[in-house]
Structure formats: structure tokens, C-alpha cells
């Protein structure tokens, strides 16, 4: 069932809570794929009532062209949600969520200053603000976020702790294509040639993790080696490639524990992001960020 209004959505959630059901929530921007499905299936297992939101949030787009060409596939999204056992799709218009100019914003400094935050001014302010609005509307017990967007996850987790928002944030691992490319709604924009090249980003991340596993401890050296590897693919324009602390997101110099290896790169007019996280000093010890 697609619900476009806040009032009707609140009514549905109220009824579910009256029945004693745990309310799970998966916020998305639509153009749903197997990565989103993984979030829904995880939530479905853990919650009695499952809400998915589909909203392309203008507040978090730093470029008008990116907002305009963001894929919108509501019919297919509805089918995917139905097959994943979603109870309600909340798909408001921009006017429903922002009936008047938004004056109140959520800023999470430090965590939003590097990685994507350095290249997308205002992006995480837009994300944190809309997620807090959606939490106020849906009032979920548990909300599910992909580790694919590790910085977003860290920002939301911090916001919820700082503002005592009564919701449990559940991280879900990244779903990839067989060749390693992380699923993303933006992959639709890749040309066949770009699609062939795109998995090199994940290979560079894996290469960095392998170096740590083989004993290298210098983050700048590991970064340099990964960038050298990516030079073999001149079509890939690296925006950043960083080794950071998984909780503070601050750059590391010496690897002495868990690390988040995160990168963003452009292929033609498509921006890809990806990351891997773990304590790669001892293989098989991955962590959750
Ligand atoms: P989006 O629709 O891109 O805003 O993403 C909605 C949610 O799906 C976010 O929590 C993302 O981190 C998550 N997500 C997107 N791609 C993947 C993926 N490949 N694997 C797991 N989660 C993902």
C-alpha cells in the first residue's frame, strides 16, 4: 500500500503499535535494488510492521542536475516492496514534507567534514534533517541503514545518540554484483564500458585491505598504492580515497586497529562511492560501523 500523506501514515503506525507490533523502518530514495531488498528482508525478520519510505529529498542534493536525473521507478519499487513483505510504502511529495521553507536543520560537525562531506556541501545536513523528520513521522522502533553509505550511517547513529531519538539504528552489510561493484541506484547511469571499469574501485579498496593483512601499517603508503592501481584506469577520476577511524571518520596515519577504507570516484558523469571496514590486521575479523 502506498501512502502519500503524513496523517494516513501516522494512523497506520498507530494501529500497528496498538497491536503490539515492533515497527521497522527503511528510508530510501527509490530506484530500489537488491541492496535495498537486503535492508527490507533484515527488517522483515525483526519487526512485526515494516514501513519503507521512498522520497528523493531535494535538501540533500548539492547539484540540481543530480536531483533532476535521479532515477524514479515507482511501479517497479512497489513490486519489489510487495515481494519483500513491506506493509506500507510512505511516498510523500516534496510539498508534503516541506510545506513551508525548512528553517530547522540538523548539523553533525566533524563527522561530516571529510570524505563525501568535503565534496558535497550541505549533503549530510540535508540527510540528517530529513531522516529526523521521517523518524518523527514514522516513529519506528528500529531503522535500517546500509553500510554502503558508511558516513551517512555514522552521522545518523551520532544524531540519534546526541538527540536521544528513541530508535535503534541497525547497520546492514553492502550487497555487491558478482564482480564486486556495490549495488547503487546510480549504476543505471553507467555506459556498458563504464560498467566494465567500475569494479576497479572495489578492487582498489580490497587491495588496501590486503596490504594491511600482509603487515603494512602506513596509511599514506597504502593509499598511495591504491591510487597507483587506479591510475591503470584513467576513466576513473578519484574524488577521495581515505583510510579513517570507523567511528570518528578522522584520517589515520598508522593502522593499529579497525579501519574504514572509503572512496568516491567519477566514471563519466556518474559518481560512485564504496567502502570496506574491518580489522584487517587479522583476516576474518570484520567489524560493523
Ligand atoms: P538510497 O536509496 O540510495 O538513499 O539508499 C537507501 C538505503 O539503502 C541506505 O541506507 C543505503 O545505505 C542502502 N543501500 C544502498 N545501496 C546498498 C547496497 N548496495 N547494499 C546495502 N545497502 C544499500
Nearest CA to ligand 1 atom 17: 35
Average pLDDT, the chain: 96
CA of 216 to the centre of ligand 1 (A): 31
What digits encode the pLDDT tens for the residues 249-258? 999 999 999 9
Residue (of 286, 246, 242) closest to 264 by Cα position:
242
What digits encode the pLDDT tens for the residues 146-176? 999 999 999 999 999 999 999 999 999 999 9
Q: Of 30, 149, 179, which is best to mutate to test ligand 1, by the most ligand atoms within 8 angstroms of its C-beta? A: 149
Q: What is the pLDDT of residue 215?
A: 95
User: What is the Cα–Cα distance from 261 to 208, expressed in whole angstroms?
Assistant: 8
Q: What is the mean pLDDT of residues 242-262?
A: 97
Q: Does 289 score more than 80 pLDDT?
A: no
Cell numbers at 205, concatenated: 579498496
Q: What is the mean pLDDT of residues 100-116?
A: 97
| pTM, 2 dp | 0.96
Whether 35 is in the pocket of ligand 1, judged by its Cβ within 6 Å, is yes
Strand extents, DSSP E, the chain: 2-3, 23-28, 49-54, 88-90, 142-146, 168-172, 236-244, 259-267, 270-278
Active site residue 36: yes
Determine the angle formed by the axes of helices 200-213 and 219-230, rounding to 10 degrees.
150
User: What is the Cα–Cα distance from 138 to 15, expressed in whole angstroms?
Assistant: 12
Helix (H, G, I), strand (E, B) or coil at 289: coil
Least confident of 4-8, 10-14, 30-34, 280-284: 280-284
Q: What is the pLDDT of residue 286?
A: 54
What digits encode the pLDDT tens for the residues 120-145? 999 999 999 999 999 999 999 999 99
Q: Does 285 score more than 60 pLDDT?
A: no
CA of 217 to the centre of ligand 1 (A): 31
Task: Tell me what percent of the residues of the chain surpass a pLDDT of 90.
Answer: 93
Whether 148 is in the pocket of ligand 1, judged by its Cβ within 6 Å, is yes
CA of 104 to the centre of ligand 1 (A): 25
Q: Does 202 score more than 70 pLDDT?
A: yes
* The pairing of beta strand 49-54 with beta strand 142-146: unpaired
End-to-end CA distance of the chain, in Å? 33
Q: Of 25, 30, 39, 71, which is best to mutate to test ligand 1, by the most ligand atoms within 8 angstroms of its C-beta? A: 39
Q: Which helix (H) or strand (E) holds 129?
A: helix 123-138
Q: Whose grid coordinates read 567511528?
A: 247
Helix (H, G, I), strand (E, B) or coil at 42: helix
Amino acid at each position: 500500500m502506498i501512502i502519500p500523506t503524513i496523517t494516513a501514515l501516522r494512523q497506520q503506525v498507530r494501529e500497528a503499535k496498538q497491536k503490539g507490533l515492533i515497527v521497522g523502518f527503511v528510508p530510501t530514495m527509490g530506484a530500489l535494488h537488491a541492496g535495498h531488498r537486503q535492508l527490507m528482508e533484515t527488517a522483515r525478520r525483526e519487526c512485526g510492521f515494516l514501513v519503507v519510505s521512498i522520497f528523493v529529498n531535494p535538501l540533500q542534493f548539492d547539484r540540481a542536475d543530480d536531483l533532476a536525473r535521479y532515477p524514479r521507478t515507482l511501479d517497479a519499487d512497489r513490486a519489489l516492496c510487495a515481494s519483500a513483505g513491506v506493509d506500507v510504502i510512505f511516498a510523500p511529495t516534496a510539498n508534503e514534507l516541506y510545506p513551508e521553507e525548512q528553517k530547522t536543520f540538523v548539523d553533525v560537525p566533524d563527522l561530516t567534514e571529510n570524505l563525501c562531506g568535503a565534496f558535497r556541501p550541505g549533503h549530510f545536513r540535508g540527510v540528517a534533517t530529513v531522516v529526523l523528520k521521517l523518524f518523527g513521522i514514522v516513529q519506528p522502533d528500529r531503522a535500517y541503514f546500509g553500510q554502503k553509505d558508511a558516513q551517512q550511517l555514522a552521522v545518523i547513529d551520532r544524531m540519534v545518540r546526541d538527540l536521544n531519538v528513541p530508535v535503534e539504528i541497525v547497520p546492514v552489510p553492502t550487497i555487491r554484483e558478482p564482480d564486486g561493484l556495490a549495488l547503487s541506484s546510480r549504476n543505471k547511469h553507467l555506459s556498458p564500458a563504464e560498467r566494465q571499469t567500475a569494479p576497479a574501485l572495489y578492487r582498489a579498496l580490497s587491495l588496501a585491505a590486503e596490504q594491511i593483512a600482509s603487515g603494512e601499517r602506513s596509511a599514506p603508503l597504502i593509499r598511495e598504492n591504491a591510487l597507483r592501481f587506479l591510475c591503470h584506469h584513467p576513466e576513473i577520476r578519484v574524488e577521495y580515497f581515505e583510510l579513517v577511524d570507523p567511528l570518528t571518520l578522522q584520517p589515520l596515519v598508522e593502522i593499529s586497529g579497525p579501519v574504514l577504507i572509503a572512496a568516491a570516484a567519477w566514471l563519466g558523469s556518474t559518481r560512485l562511492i564504496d567502502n570496506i571496514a574491518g580489522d584487517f590486521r587479522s583476516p576474518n575479523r570484520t567489524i560493523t560501523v
